[in-house]
Amino acid sequence: MTAPTRIALVGCGAIGTSVLELLRGDAALKVVAVVVPADGIAAARPIAQRLAPDAQPGTAVPAEGIDLVVETAGHAAIEQHVLPALARGTPCVVASVGALSAPGFAEKLEAAAVAGGTQVQLIPGAIGAIDALAAARIGGLDSVRYTGRKPPHAWKGTPAEQGRDLDALSSETVIFEGSAREAALLYPKNANVAATVSLAGLGLDRTLVRLIADPATAENVHTVEADGAFGSFELTMRNKPLAANPKTSALTVYSAVRALRNRVAALAI
């Protein structure tokens, strides 16, 4: 039997914990380190003990004995842990794709992977058809539009509140229309899907984003429409949230686990 792939999991929140649950007992993928900030160690320890007894919680990715780093933690964690791991030559899987909307950050990740002679893999996460979009790009894309529709309360604490009372909306209201780059600046907490669609397709400046507050929906609905030499597609996703973090889709966890399993599977899809 081949030795299992030794994983350092960065972040042990809603996604990280669910990933540990799904990888528990996996013969080919073994989480051997859980990396969190110093003030997160106490919370991570019992989770690691229960779900990955071989994993030591710590504040840094061990310099030795790690075959793969998996990030489920956010922009700062990519800076602190993913960039150095890539530069050391350790491949990394990244879930916080929205972080790549920051100016120059995608280039920085790429440069670290080039320096280490390795690869950083961005997971599709909460959105589908990233395979089709990235394949269609090879033939040439003409337009890509992403629409994010959420109930009004989901936009509280964002610029959508400026000049309007979200609680009083009686019909669907477009709260933002512009490029994915502008959307990431104004709505950073909603940046993951728009960034993923942009990176797979036409980039942050040419991907159109529409954000809608809709009192008639209780779900988070993502729609992607793309046109190009390949033809066209429209995809609509109604994702269920993770109980541990209603802002995160359960599909993001499955997407991370799929990416990991595909790295070791004899037949990958």
The residues assigned a catalytic role are 222
Residue with the CB atom nearest ligand NAD in the bound state: 13
Say how far residue 86 (Cα) sits from the centre of its chain. 18
* The token pair that represents 201 in the structure block: 């397709």
Helix segments in the chain, DSSP class H: 14-23, 41-51, 75-77, 83-88, 105-116, 130-139, 180-186, 191-200, 250-264
State the DSSP H helix or E strand holding residue 10, giving kind and residue range, or none if neither.
strand 5-10
Nearest distance from C-beta of residue 119 to ligand NAD, angstroms: 17
Nearest distance from C-beta of residue 182 to ligand NAD, angstroms: 18
State the DSSP H helix or E strand holding residue 226, giving kind and residue range, or none if neither.
strand 220-228
Nearer to ligand NAD, 179 or 220 (CB): 220
* The token pair that represents 129 in the structure block: 């058809």
Nearer to ligand NAD, 133 or 169 (CB): 133
Q: Flag whether 262 is marked binding.
A: no
Q: Flag whether 126 is marked binding.
A: yes
Report the alpha-carbon distance of residue 11 to residue 77 in Å, rounded. Answer: 8
Q: Which spans of this chain sit near ligand NAD (rule: CB under 6 A)?
A: 10-16, 35-37, 40, 72-74, 76-77, 80-81, 95-98, 125-126, 192-193, 196, 245, 248-249, 252
Nearer to ligand NAD, 118 or 121 (CB): 121
Which residue ranges are tagged as binding site for NAD(+)? 126, 192
